[in-house]
Amino acid sequence: MQKVQFNFHTEMFRQTEQLAVARVRLQQTMPDRRLKILSFGSSIGEEIATLRFMFPDHDVYGCEIDDRLLDICRRSVGALATIFKSSVENIAAHGPFDLIVASAVLCLNPTPLNAVELFPVSRFDELVAMLDESLVPGGIFVITNAAYRFTESPVGKNYDTVRADIVSTAGHVDVFTRAATPYLTQITSTGSVVYQRHGDFVPRDDEDLADSVFEKRLPNAKPAIRELRLRPPPQGLTVITHHKRLNIDWAKRRVPDRCVVIEFDYQFCRLDRTGEFGYVQTISWTSLVGEGVHRRLPTWHLVP
Ligand X SMILES: C[S@@+](CC[C@H](N)C(=O)[O-])C[C@H]1O[C@@H](n2cnc3c(N)ncnc32)[C@H](O)[C@@H]1O
The binding site for ligand X (CB under 6 A) comprises 1, 3-5, 7-11, 14, 40-43, 46-47, 63-66, 69, 86, 103-105
Please report, for residues 41, 54, 57, 192, 198, the alpha-carbon distance to residue 189 in angstroms, rounded to integers and kept in the order given. 22, 26, 35, 6, 18
Report in angstroms how near the CB of residue 17 gets to ligand X at its nearest. Answer: 13
Residues contacting 262, CB < 8 A, separation 6+: 192, 193, 246, 247, 283, 284, 285, 286
Coil, helix or strand at residue 168:
coil
Closest CB 33 distance from ligand X, rounded Å:
24
| Strand, coil or helix: 59 | strand
Q: Give dist(CA 116, CA 5) in Å, integer.
A: 13
Query: Which residue, 39 or 286, has its beta carbon nearer to ligand X?
Result: 39
**Beta carbon of residue 5, minimum distance to ligand X (angstroms, whole number):** 4
CB 118 → ligand X: shortest distance, Å? 12
Smallest gap, in angstroms, from Cβ of residue 269 to ligand X? Answer: 33
Q: Which is nearer to ligand X, 5 or 192 (CB)?
A: 5
Q: Which is nearer to ligand X, 60 or 105 (CB)?
A: 105
Give the residue with the Cβ less far from ligand X, 26 or 48. Answer: 48
Give me the long-range contacts of 122-129 (CB less than 8 A, separation at least 24): 123/2, 123/4, 124/148, 124/153, 125/153, 125/154, 125/155, 127/4, 128/102, 128/153, 128/155, 128/156, 129/153, 129/154, 129/155
- Please, where are the H alpha helices in 95-204? 115-118, 121-133
Name the residue whose CB lies closest to ligand X.
Answer: 41
Nearer to ligand X, 103 or 281 (CB): 103
Within 8 A by CB and 6+ apart from 52, the residues are 60, 77, 80, 81
Query: Minimum distance between the CB of residue 144 and ligand X, rounded to whole angstroms?
Result: 7
Nearer to ligand X, 64 or 160 (CB): 64
> Which residue's CB is nearer to ligand X, number 42 or number 177?
42
Q: How far is the CB of 178 from ligand X (least distance, A)?
A: 20
Contact 18, 142 (CB under 8 A): yes
